[in-house]
């Protein structure tokens, strides 16, 4: 059995790719922007705010939570979500280091 394609790359390369993937859908970007805008946890009102069906919102929240960019706590029958500050800071450091690479000094192509 062969290696998974991701095993061919470094941990850092895979981490950057996962961050890029999570930002690759406008619904997830919208959810994150909303969480930053309200600057508190949100408990169930994302359907009205984002305009997508609850199962769709739930899937996007799951992707964000699996990567650790948001965290959820159970309050009664609902789950409240907010930005995971430490993980967000770590993601910013990784992505800024990647995006801040200098362009080649030579004129190629």
Q: pTM for the whole thing?
A: 0.85
What's the CA angle centered on 41, arms 40 and 45, to 5 degrees? 115
Q: Which of 65, 66, 63, 59 is nearest to 80 (CA)?
A: 65
Q: What is the pLDDT of residue 11?
A: 95
CATH number at residue 83: 1.10.10.10
Q: Show pLDDT as tens, one digit a residue, over the chain (109 residues).
A: 455 688 899 999 999 999 999 999 999 999 999 999 998 888 877 888 889 998 999 999 999 999 999 998 877 777 899 999 999 999 999 999 999 998 777 777 6
In a domain, 109, yes or no: no
Q: What is the pLDDT of residue 65?
A: 95
Answer whether 81's CB lies under 8 Å from 70's CB. yes
Residue range of the domain that includes 24: 9-91
User: What does the alpha-carbon distance between residue 6 and residue 21 come to, in Å, rounded to a whole number?
Assistant: 14
């Amino acid at each position: 059995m062969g290696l998974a394609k991701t095993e061919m790359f470094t941990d850092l390369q895979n981490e950057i790719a996962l961050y890029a993937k999570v930002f690759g859908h406008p619904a997830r970007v919208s959810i994150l922007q909303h969480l930053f805008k309200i600057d508190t946890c949100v408990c169930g009102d994302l359907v009205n705010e984002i305009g997508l069906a609850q199962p769709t919102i739930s899937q996007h929240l799951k992707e964000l939570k699996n990567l650790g960019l948001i965290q959820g706590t159970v309050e009664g029958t609902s789950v409240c979500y907010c930005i995971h500050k430490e993980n967000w800071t770590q993601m910013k450091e990784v992505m800024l280091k990647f995006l801040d690479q200098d362009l080649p000094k030579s004129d190629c192509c």
